[in-house]
Structure 1
Amino acid sequence: MRVLKFGKSLKSGEECGCGFKHDRTLDLVLLGPISEALGMLEDLRLKPPYAVFYDETTYRVAGRFVKEKLAAKGVLTSSPTFQEAERGLAEARGARTVIGVGGGTVIDLAKYAAYRLEADFISIPTAPSHDGMVSPVVSLFKEGRRKSILARSPRLAIIDLRILGSAPRQLLISGYGDILAKIISIKDWQLGRDERGEQYCKTAESLVISSLEELIASLRKPSPQEETFETLVKALINSGAAMMVVGTSRPASGSEHLISHYLDMNLKERLPHGIQCALGTLLMAAYHELRNPNWWKDERYRLNALRGYFREVGLPTSLREAGVPIGVMVDAVVEAWRIRPKRYTILHKFKPDRSEALKLLRISGLA
């Protein structure tokens, strides 16, 4: 069992001097078998009664084992909505510790319940599909629109690499997309800092950029697949921790995520979150290279390199490959800034029209 320490090993807000309070709720990440990690809960003061959230798939993967091992109350979930979150909350009442066993939806539903119950939260992800596994953000649907709220990060995350490594390939690819998207989100945040006077945190920036650098380095050398996979998982954890530190998704979610949110609401069949973000990443990389003098000078972070990383991990590099209609993506580029009008990004600065959106599709290679 390997232990990654967070909590007080992270700088405090005073030490950083950024103006954010620095939430350090996440104490530990345990990398190893779930069975071994569960035996440590009492020593970590994560006490019963327990409530375990899962869906039909993750019940078979690990949820049943966790439920039976801890004699916990089981909460079966089905849909990524706030209505479902309220139902799960009602079922989990009385729990001192809430555990989420699953992908993004299950983790967010459990996170919501733990926050509302003022209970401790343990995250046990079953897929490396995005960075919500330790973040404080809950992202669910309300009346057909995706809405994000701030809850609280887990005190503990249990990462069983054997289970994550057996997840469907599309979910693994999604995880790569969500991390490579940080190339955009950091620059959008810097845009807000430089042009709107937004608070900015070097500690959160360091968590994101160091993870991004490690992942890119692993993709640029002939290394064992297992090593690259573990680097991805650690990057997802660090990205979530960056959001925890500042209490906002700002370090990890920029214009590329707004594109994804628009696709969530307008595609007949949604793609995994990180794959949608990846499409937005290529578009917004093209836009920043055209219009932002503060864009990355390092060739490793520019559009041509991004397309190479996409091919390396299996991310789509064209709308045809992704199955996304050109018209929907044009609308996304034009309209996505309206989803979060106060989150300043390159889309908010320039508010592209349809002609410019089509130009970005060509430059990015998506169309």
Structure 2
Amino acid sequence: MPVLTRLIPSPLVVDIRRGAMDDLAGVLHDQRISTSGKLAIAISDGSGRALKDRLAPLLPGADWYSVSDGTIDSAVRLANGIKGNRYDAVVGLGGGKIIDVAKYAAARVGLPLVAVATNLSHDGLCSPVATLDNDNGRGSYGVPTPIAVVIDLDVVRRAPARYIRSGIGDAVSNISCVADWELAQRVNGEEVDGLAAAMARQAGEAVLRHPGGIADDEFLKVLAEGLVLTGISMAVAGDSRPASGACHEINHAFDLLHPARAASHGEQVGLGACFAMHLRGAVDQSQQMAVVFRRHGLPVLPEEIGFTADEFVEVVDFAPRTRPGRFTILEHLNLSTDQIRDAYADYAKAIRS
């Protein structure tokens, strides 16, 4: 009887620990990702300079490329600079924007990408997607999964706490995203990849249920692992579905309707996830999320990120238009503005009690 299996696109190396960045050259050499040490390393114009000063003596064969912003133009410029130089790999060293630019550039020139994250703000560090600004706003571009992910806990701890909080919101929102995916299966017959759903949900649950705080190594490791697993779950699914549901529609609506006032991605999707769980009748889970978010300093009400209740109602009403064709609890309920307002009043009362 034949044994049927599938190949899962995932990093060859996931190195999450204190001091991991200082061992980057050794890890890449030992795993035969770069035996020559000839690397193209993309860094930001700002904080990246300090990292270059620290790592350049350890990576004598590397060339360093400054990236000014997270646009498609920057990604193309980086690709053009790298092209023809016979590098072993491209390294994206920094936050989400730098890694996404490096992902796109590496894909364009046909080189593997090593993601070295300096903060834990969202699940894009290991996803098969590069999110880049373009002339029409922002676009998502399919790219290969990074061949290696390196996260130095000493480095991410030094990043502003709001980045870690954002990552918490993004990871925990998986629980709501998978619930939306399963709803689409029940109502519309949409196919759910069970492995991708399990990976995304368990990543969210692990962060939700961990008793530690943002200053604890063990909590940071669980959060980092959760964000990596979420990225792999999207690669398994071949789609962002395991980590993008109603909460992400709400986030996109915040960004589109109030671009100058929008909070961080993780804060907005966390708030959206709490509200979406309430909408689907999972009041206990919504309250549990709210308790955990408050413990970590994340918002659970729009007023906590500078928006009125009426503005939030407007955001939720607009949210389904941000992802045409995606079916979530928002599309399923198809609430009127007045019904959203009533639902929000119930939600606010429930999480305050």
Post-superposition CA distance 1:249-286 (Å, at most 9, x none): 11011110111112122321332211111121122122
Number of corresponding residues: 340
Contact 1:279 1:317 in 2 (8 A): yes
Quote the residue 1:269 is aligned against: 261
For structure 2, list consecutive stretches of 5 or more residues without a partner in the other structure: none
Q: Work out whether residues 189 and 345 of structure 1, in 8 Å CA contact, stay in contact via their aligned partners in 2.
A: yes
Q: Partner of 1:37 in structure 2?
A: 24
Shift of 1:31: 2.3
1:95-152: per-residue Cα shift (whole Å, max 9, x none)?
4411111111111111111111110110000001111111111122223533222211
| 1:78-89 to 2 correspondences below 5 Å | 78-89=68-79
Return the alpha-carbon distance in structure 1 between the equivalents of residues 67 and 346 of structure 2.
42
Separation of aligned partners in 2, 1:325 and 1:67: 48
What letter corresponds to residue 174 of structure 2 in structure 1? K
In 2, Cα distance between the equivalents of 1:216 and 1:159?
A: 20
**Other-structure match for 2:336:** 353
342-351 or 168-177, larger mean C-alpha shift: 342-351
Aligned partner letter, 1:57: G
Would the aligned equivalents of 2:88 and 2:111 in 1 still touch at CA under 8 Å?
Answer: yes
Q: Distance in 1 between matches of 2:108 and 2:71?
A: 16
Please say if residues 137 and 248 of structure 1, whose CA atoms lie closer than 8 Å, have aligned partners that are also in contact: no
Out of 94, 116, 119, the residue aligned to residue 124 of structure 1 is: 116
Partner of 1:46: 33
- The amino acid of 2:341's aligned partner reads L
Q: Does 1:77 align with 2:77?
A: no
SS where residue 261 of structure 1 aligns? helix
- Alpha carbons 2:175, 2:205 under 8 Å: kept: no
Q: Secondary structure at the match of 1:42?
A: helix
How many angstroms apart in 1 are the aligned matches of 2:98 and 2:334? 35
Cα distance in 2 for partners of 1:199, 1:22 equals: 19
Note closer, same or farther for the CA distance 1:191–1:88 as it changes in structure 2 (3 Å cut).
Answer: same
Quote the offset at 1:223 in angstroms. 11
Secondary structure of 2:30's aligned partner: coil
Distance 1:361 1:63 in 2: 48
CA drift of 1:63 comes to 4.0
How far apart are the structure 2 equivalents of 1:66 and 1:217?
36
Distance 1:200 1:60, change over 3 A: same
After superposition, residues 1-367 of structure 1 pair within 5 angstroms as 14-15=4-5, 22-32=7-17, 33=19, 34-47=21-34, 49-67=38-56, 69-70=58-59, 71-94=61-84, 95-219=87-211, 225-267=216-258, 268-289=260-281, 299=284, 302-365=285-348
TM-score (norm 2): 0.88
Question: For residues 118 and 66 of structure 1, do their structure 2 counterparts lie closer, same or farther at Cα, with a shift above 3 Å needed?
Answer: farther
Distance, in Å, in 2 between the alignment partners of 1:288 and 1:83 is 41
Question: What SS does structure 2 have at the residue aligned with 1:153?
Answer: coil
CA distance in 1, matches of 2:40, 2:150: 16
- TM-score normalised by L of structure 1: 0.85
- Separation of aligned partners in 2, 1:223 and 1:256: 23
Change (3 A) 1:22 1:200: farther
What is the one-letter code of the residue matched to 2:257? N
CA contact (8 A) 1:23 1:245 kept: yes
User: Once the two structures are superposed, what CA deviation does each residue of 1:213-240 show, in whole Å capped at 9, x if it has no partner?
Assistant: 3223313x79983322221111111111
Residues 55 and 102, structure 1, Cα contact 8 Å, conserved in 2: yes
**Contact 1:78–1:84 (Cα < 8 Å) also in 2:** yes
8 Å contact 1:130–1:274 — kept in the other structure?
Answer: yes
Deviates further, 128-137 or 74-83: 74-83
Q: 1:283 to 1:22 in 2, by over 3 A?
A: farther
Residue 9 of structure 1 corresponds to none
**Matches of 1:340 and 1:88 in 2, distance apart?**
30
**What is the distance in 2 between the residues matched to 1:223 and 1:103?**
18
**How far apart are residue 29 of structure 1 and its match?**
0.4
Name the SS for the 1:270 alignment partner: coil
| CA deviation map 1:5-58 (0-9, x unaligned) | xxxxxxxx943xxxxx65424112012421213222123222354211111333
Q: Answer whether contact 2:43 2:49 (CA < 8 A) is retained.
A: no
Distance 1:182 1:230 in 2: 18
CA displacement, residues 56-84 of structure 1 (integer Å, 9 cap, x when unaligned): 33314524444553332222223222222
Q: Secondary structure at the match of 1:45?
A: coil
**1:262 is aligned with what amino acid?**
A
CA distance in structure 2 between the partners assigned to 1:137 and 1:146 by the alignment: 12
Whole-angstrom CA distance in 2 between matches of 1:358 and 1:68:
58
Cα distance in 1 for partners of 2:237, 2:257 equals: 31
Structure 1 portions without partners, runs of 5+: 1-12, 16-20, 290-294
Task: Give the counterpart letter for 1:84 in structure 2.
Answer: S
Offset of residue 175 of structure 1: 0.8
